[in-house]
Amino acid sequence: MRRSVILGTGSALPARRVSNAELSETVDTSDEWIVERTGIRFRHIAGEGETTSTLATDAARAALAAAGIDAGAIDLIVLATATPDQTFPATATLVQAALGIPDCVAFDVAAVCSGFLYAVQVADSMIRAGAANRALVIGAETFSRILDWQDRATCVLFGDGAGAIVLEGQAGPENGILSTRLHADGRHNGLLYVDGGPSTTQTVGHVRMKGREVFRHAVVNLATVMGEALAAAGLTAADVDWVVPHQANARILDATARKLDLAPEKVIVTVDRHANTSAASVPLALDTAVRDGRIQRGDLLVLEAMGGGFTWGAAVVRY
C-alpha cells in the first residue's frame, strides 16, 4: 500500500512578539481576561517585509532541512491560507519561486483554520494516486492584516506564523498518514467570516466572529471528526499518543479532550505563545512538539481543526 510519510517539519514566526499587556495599551482589554478566557499570553505579529509567503518560505526551508532533501525534489506545493500575499496568483507559486523550484504543481487551499487539514488530504490523495511523489504542505497566515484592531472580541485572539511538512509517497511503510476526514457546513458563514472580498467590496475586509456560538460548534464537531478519523484507521482514542489540535482557545482543547476521554497531557498546546494562527496553527504546533522532543518517530498523532465556513477535519498519522 502506498502511503504519505512525513519526512520533516518546519515552522516560522514573525520577529515581533506581542504580550497581552502590550495589547492592552491600545485595546480595551486585560491580560487577565485574555488568559482566563483563551489561554493566550503572546502572539507574533508580522512587520514590514514579513508576509504570508515569506513566513511560508522560511517554514518550508526548515521542513526541507529536517527532511534532508533539496527543494528541487518537490513536485507539489499545497499551501493553506486565508491571507494570501495577493488575491492571485496563489501564494504557493511565490513559495515555489522563492525556493527556486523550476517546475512543480503549486496551488492554495482556502478553508481558513481547517486549511492545513484540507491541504493534507489533497496532497495525500495526489500522492497515493501517483500524481505527486514529494509534497510541501504548508499552512501560513498573516491574520494581523485582516483584524479590526478596534474590535477587542477578535483582535486579541489571533497571531501570524507558518508551519510546513514534507510528505513523501512510499510503498508499504509502517508509518504515514493513516486516515483523513473533512467536513463543511456553509450555513454557518455568518458566525465566522471576513466582511469583504474582491467580488463584493473590492477590499480585503476584516474578521468577524460570534465567538460563543463558534465555541459550541467547535467542541462537538472536533470530537466527532476525531472519532471518525480514528475509526477509519481502525483505532480508538486509547491508541493516541498526541493530539495536535488547532490552537484557538485552551478551553476548547480541554473540552474536546474530555469528550474523547483523552488525558490533557496528550494534547499539544501552543495557543499560549502563538494565539490562533488559523491555517498555520496545526503545523506550527506539530513542529514545536517534534523539535522539543515530545513527538517521537512511531507515535500516533491526531491532527484536528475547525474554522470559518464552517469547515472542520482530522487526520490520523503514524509519525
Concerning whether 274 is annotated as a catalytic residue, the answer is no
Query: Catalytic one among 44, 206, 246, 274?
Result: 246
State yes or no: residue 221 binds ligand UT7 (CB under 6 A): no
- Output phi, psi for 27, to 5 deg: -120, 145
Query: What are the cell numbers at 14?
Result: 514573525
Rounded Cα gap, residues 198 and 111, in angstroms: 17
Minimum distance from residue 277 beta carbon to ligand UT7 (Å): 9
State yes or no: residue 307 binds ligand UT7 (CB under 6 A): yes
State yes or no: residue 152 binds ligand UT7 (CB under 6 A): yes
Rounded Cα gap, residues 232 and 146, in angstroms: 37
DSSP 139-198: EEEEGGGG--TT-HHHHTTB-EEEEEEEEEEEES-SSEEEEEEEEE-GGGGGGEEES--T
State yes or no: residue 215 binds ligand UT7 (CB under 6 A): yes
Options 122, 252, 268, 290; binder of ligand UT7; rule CB under 6 A: 252
**In the complex with ligand UT7, which residue's Cβ is closer, 165 or 252?**
252
- Among the listed residues 112, 78, 73, the one whose alpha carbon sits nearest the alpha carbon of residue 92: 78
- Using the contact rule CB under 6 A, the part of the chain among 2-10, 75-83, 212-220, 283-291 near ligand UT7 is 212-220
Query: Catalytic one among 104, 113, 249, 274?
Result: 113
State yes or no: residue 285 binds ligand UT7 (CB under 6 A): no
- Output phi, psi for 89, to 5 deg: -75, 170
Options 214, 240, 253, 262; binder of ligand UT7; rule CB under 6 A: 214
- Among the listed residues 169, 166, 141, 167, the one whose alpha carbon sits nearest the alpha carbon of residue 60: 166
State yes or no: residue 225 binds ligand UT7 (CB under 6 A): no
**Binding residues for ligand UT7, total number by CB under 6 A:** 20
Length reported for the chain: 319
State yes or no: residue 113 binds ligand UT7 (CB under 6 A): yes
Other Cβ atoms closer than 10 A to 36: 11
Options 11, 38, 52, 288; binder of ligand UT7; rule CB under 6 A: 38
Concerning whether 113 is annotated as a catalytic residue, the answer is yes
Beta-strand runs (E) in 20-150: 42-45, 76-80, 105-109, 134-142
State yes or no: residue 117 binds ligand UT7 (CB under 6 A): no
Residues recognised as catalytic: 113, 246, 276
The site for ligand UT7 (CB under 6 A) is made up of 29, 33, 37-38, 113, 152-153, 156-157, 211-212, 214-215, 218, 248-249, 252, 276, 306-307
